Amino acid sequence: MFKTPRGTQDILPQDQPAWQHIENTILTLCHRYGFERISTPVFEDTGLFTRTVGEETDIVQKEMYTFKDRGDSEITLRPEGTAPVCRAYIQHGMHNRPQPVKLYYFATIYRYERPQTGRFREHHQFGAEAIGDKDPSLDAEIIHMAWKIFNNLGLKDLTTQLNTIGCPKCRPVYLENLKDFYSSRIHEMCGDCRVRHQRNPLRLLDCKNPVCQSAADSSPRSYDYLCPECGQHFEKLKTYLRILEIPFLLNHRLVRGLDYYTRTVFEVQPEDVGGQSTIGGGGRYDNLIGELGGPPTPAVGFATGLERIMLNMEKQHLLPKSNGGIDIFIAPLDEQAREKGIGLLNILRQEGFSAMMAAGEKSLKAQLRQAGAFSARYVIIIGEEEIKKNSVILKDMATGEQETIPANSLVNSISKRLKGS
Ligand SMILES: [Zn+2]
Ligand SMILES: [Zn+2]
């Protein structure tokens, strides 16, 4: 028998209310913060990601779903959401619109990783990007929106970790100091880190290996090496975050896994897992659009995995169990009653109620059981007697009370009960 491929999952009807709740919470906030939705293809030219994410990153080296299609084009299933949005920004000339252009997306993301709790090969991501202005108030707004999303979902005990990794002007000096610092220690560190020391010293800081971590604790900190512009940007951002009352911790080891970040980087982390499991993060990427061949365009954004949110909400018992069920379930006791029921069903749906009718020949008991499975609030029972009198039996599933009412006042009667009118 076929099953979902490793690292993927079906989202079943009983899980949908939780997904919908999360999506609705996010949609409400996007609207409040003035972001507009964008959707991009599931796959892109491979070069889009190798160019932006960075050749030396785990994503490009080990995790991308890359293949040649039948026309010999190099295709990659999107392993992250920002580069496609930037590609769209350039392709559709969005730099001609008033800046910043504020976009958000819901997208499936593909990475060939070892599946584990909260980590999938196909996962669902939400992201928001504010493109076209270098104002630090946009960094603050992005962090604020991320914070609000998790707060409005009811998540507690979160911390926002903040760092700045400077710009092409000041970062080289920092990287020199970082390399010097590690030179005397690198022989004790892991193999990956020895490669990073040569090619990508910034990534030495977020190695998960305990030996490497203790070295990183006492390493030089990027925010001590900022040029005046980066320094000012960082100070402004911290001021805005204080005004917005977002508690943040400076973390000089936070660098994020992608090469395109400049200045601000941040992550929101649940407190109890010791920084191992971020539920969202992002930062500024002022050079990405330029690198893709667009006009120099500063930008800042963040992304969060919906499965990761779900996992944290589950731990904190925050997931809604049901979508409220249906309004009315019709239980006909014979064929004549079914004909009557089909007509009623149509009328009730036209009036805006959610309604369904039992299918097949079932006993009343079985039909009531089915109504219960759909969390119906009322059941309409139609039998021989009711056909004769042109009436129906209306059963309140919460109280168990039932009442015979004339068929032609059914809509009124149900409206009164369900809408209070
Ligand atoms: Zn700088
Ligand atoms: Zn290491």
Whole-number Å distance between alpha carbons of 411 and 421: 11
Looking up tokens 């903040």 gives 162
CATH of the domain spanning 328-419: 3.40.50.800
Position 322 scores a pLDDT of 72
State whether residue 245 is helix, strand or coil: coil
Work out the mean pLDDT of the chain and round it to a whole number. Answer: 93
Going from the Cα of 169 to the center of ligand 1, the distance in angstroms, rounded, reads: 5
Give the number of whichever ligand sits closest to the CA of residue 169: 1
Q: Tell me the CA–centroid distance for residue 233 and ligand 1, in Å.
A: 9
CA of 64 to the centre of ligand 2 (A): 22
According to the model, what pLDDT value does residue 56 have? 76
Question: Tens of pLDDT along 33-42?
Answer: 999 999 999 9
Q: How far is CA 312 from CA 29, 84, 154, 215, 354, in A?
A: 20, 28, 10, 30, 32
Which ligand is in closest contact with the Cα of 166? Answer: 1
Nearest to 349 by CA among 323, 380, 328, 331: 328
The segment(s) of the chain belonging to CATH 3.30.930.10 are: 13-170+226-315
- Residues 45-50 have a mean pLDDT of 95
Q: What percent of the chain has pLDDT over 90?
A: 80
User: What pLDDT is stored for residue 276 in this prediction?
Assistant: 52
| 108: enclosing H helix or E strand | strand 101-110
Asked whether the beta carbons of 406 and 398 are under 8 A apart, the reply is no
Nearest bound ligand to CA 287? 1
Q: What is the reported pLDDT for 274?
A: 47
Q: Minimum-distance ligand to the CA of 262? A: 1
Q: What is the amino acid identity at position 218?
A: S
Distance CA 21, CA 138 (A): 27
Closest CA to 374 of 13, 10, 5, 3: 13
Cα 111 to averaged position of ligand 2 atoms, centre (Å): 22
pLDDT of residue 275: 45
CA angle centred on 276, ends 274 and 282, rounded to 5°: 115
Highest mean pLDDT among 44-58, 137-151, 197-211: 137-151
Contacts of 265 (CB under 8 A, 6+ apart): 162, 163, 164, 165, 254, 255, 256, 281, 282, 283, 284
Whole-number Å distance, alpha carbon 225 to ligand 1 midpoint, is 8
Which ligand does the CA of 201 lie closest to? 2
Which tens digits make up the pLDDT trace of 75-132? Answer: 999 999 999 999 999 999 999 999 999 999 999 999 998 888 778 999 999 999 999 9
Model confidence band, residue 59 (pLDDT cutoffs 50, 70, 90) = confident
The token pair that represents 234 in the structure block: 């960082």
Q: Is 361 left (phi over 0), alpha (psi -120 to 50) or beta?
A: beta
Q: Measure 299 CA to ligand 2 centroid, in angstroms.
A: 30
Give the distance (Å) from ligand 1 centre to CA of residue 222: 10
Q: Report the pLDDT value the prediction gives residue 333, as an integer from 0 to 100.
A: 96
Strand ordering across the sheet containing 248-250: 36-37, 101-110, 122-131, 299-305, 280-284, 262-270, 158-164, 248-250
Q: DSSP assignment, residue 119? A: B
215 CA to centre of ligand 2 in angstroms: 9
421 pLDDT higher than 60: no
Residue 282, H or E segment: strand 280-284
The per-residue pLDDT for 273 is 52
Instruction: Give the tens place of pLDDT for each residue, 306-365.
Output: 999 999 999 999 998 776 789 999 999 999 999 999 999 999 999 999 999 999 889 999
DSSP characters over 15-45: GHHHHHHHHHHHHHHHHHTT-EE----SEEE
Among 190, 216, 189, 220, which residue's Cα sits nearest to residue 205?
216
Helix extents (H) in 75-116: 82-91
Closest ligand, as measured to the CA of 193: 2
Q: Contacts by 357-361 with C-beta closer than 8 Å and gap 24+?
A: 357/329, 357/330, 357/331, 357/332, 358/329, 358/330, 358/331, 358/332
Find the 72 Cα to ligand 1 centroid distance in Å.
42
- Of 206 and 249, which is predicted with more confidence? 249
List the structure tokens of 15: 């899980």
Asked if residues 379 and 372 have their Cβ atoms less than 8 Å apart, the reply is: no
CB 318 within 8 A of CB 154: yes
Span(s) in the chain for CATH 3.40.50.800: 328-419
Mean pLDDT of 162-176: 94
Average pLDDT score over residue span 247-252: 94
Q: Which ligand neighbours the alpha carbon of 206 most closely?
A: 2
Q: Which fold has domain 13-170+226-315?
A: BirA Bifunctional Protein; domain 2 (3.30.930)
Confidence grade of residue 272 (pLDDT, cut at 50, 70, 90):
low
Look at residue 225 and tell me whether its pLDDT is greater than 80.
yes
Radius of gyration of the chain (CA): 28
Is the confidence at residue 402, as pLDDT, over 50? yes
